Homo-oligomer: A and B are copies of this chain.
Amino acid sequence: MTSLADLDTPAALLDEARMDRAIARMQQRMGALGVALRPHVKTAKCLEVARRQRDAGARGITVSTLKEAEEFFAAGFDDILYAVGLAPQRIAHAFDLLRRGCRLKVVVDSVAAAQAIAQAARGAAMRPEVLIEIDTDGHRAGVPPESALLLEVGRALGGDGEAAFHHSLLVGVMTHCGASYECRGREALEAMAEQERARCVRAAERLRAAGLPCDIVSVGSTPTALFARRLDGVTEVRAGVYVFYDLVMAGLGVCTPEDIALSILTTVIGHQPAKGWVLTDGGWMAMSRDRGTMAQPLDQGYGLVCDEAGDVLADWIVHQANQEHGIVEHRGGAAAAGDVARRFPLGTRLRVLPNHACATAAQHGHYAVVREGRLLGRWARFSGW
């Protein structure tokens, strides 16, 4: 199989050159800012993609599930940060990974969670590395950096004073500024990046001032990583979606549609000529239900349409989607669409750029890797928990 024409649709296409450029851009930027890059592998869930990131200079990976930790550890990735608050039920699994040689780091943001892991560690004579999650933007989990709670959680990981410094499970702090996804414009993104940095560094300083160890200061999201002007006090950055980019990132000004490495190849299966509709086999099962651009100034529907070669067809979007039907329309409606059955005959192949790469990629079991219209191969991705 060497041609796109041999691929059944819908299919997830991965543009190798675009991905390689995205990896190089982020790695170069982190190098310039003097911090390590720990990519979040939840976007691609693909060993080959993570290997490219590692080969480009990334140090360690970030995961969102212990399933990801297992898959990547089995493939030789042993420095893994599990960036979702550790439920007590998962402590045994985390310890099992540690015993097998995985340098797994886990995250807590409450005294209860800290006590649970500290108690389990004593019982099992283990010394897991624990980071405290810091809330730097109010959008999800984490401890406020100025709170008394921060020090309480820190102390719950291993006692007070000298003993704590030597025996604490605490190794650092981490934060994810998801609010960056709602920023508009360079200034707002730069300000959010600085907020993420400053608040997380402040939390680290308070822990250290209280005599607690805190070597790691881990921050990140794709927008804040690319818009940070300085990262003083930060030791590593985590970012995920940059490896593919998507229309939400393009809407933020983080990339252009031409940078997006993931697209869904679809086939025209019908028309409603009077309405200017082109029906394709790329429904929400292929695109996901993610409508991330709905809240942005330019709503891209379920995706922005390109020709089979990947060139954007300006103003053509997947306006509606059913399970296995996409309805492609021109933004200008039927009048602007013209004779759709003539322009996009039955069987025409179209690529669609996704709102949210993490969600769209998750609908597919593998990527068809393409370079200049040629198929290079098939890379598996995994799913589930």
Contacts and interface: CB of A to CB of B under 8 A. Distances in A.
Interface string A265-298: 0011111100000010100111011110000000
Query: What is the total number of copies of this protein in its complex?
Result: 2
Given A270-B141, A345-B112, A322 B178 contact: yes
Interface in A347-385: 347, 356, 358-359, 362-365, 383-385
Interface stretch (A7-15, A120-128, A307-315): A7-15
Interface string A164-187: 000000000000001000000000
Interface of A: 8-11, 42, 64-65, 84-89, 109-110, 112-113, 116, 135, 140-141, 178, 267-272, 279, 281, 284-286, 288-291, 322-325, 327, 341, 345-347, 356, 358-359, 362-365, 383-385
Contact of A327 (B10, B89, B140, B324): B140
Enumerate the 6 nearest inter-chain pairs by beta-carbon distance, A residue then B residue, closest first.
A289-B289, A85-B269, A64-B324, A289-B290, A85-B270, A88-B347
Given A87-B267, A325-B84, A112 B8 contact: no
Given A279-B85, A324-B42, A346 B178 contact: no
A177 to B, nearest CB: 13
Instruction: Decide if the interface of chain A is mainly helix, strand, loop or mixed.
Output: loop
Contacts of A323: 42, 64, 358-359
Contacts of A281: 84, 87
A206 to B, nearest CB: 19
Given A289-B289, A365-B383, A384-B365, A141 B268 contact: no
Contacts of A86: 269
A8 B88 contact: no
A89 B347 contact: yes
Contacts of A65: 324
12 contacts: A8-B385, A11-B385, A84-B281, A85-B279, A87-B346, A88-B346, A110-B270, A112-B345, A113-B346, A141-B279, A141-B325, A364-B384
A268 B112 CA distance: 12
A78 B94 CA distance: 47
A239 to B, nearest CB: 14
Nearest to A287: B289
A331 to B, nearest CB: 20
Nearest to A359: B289
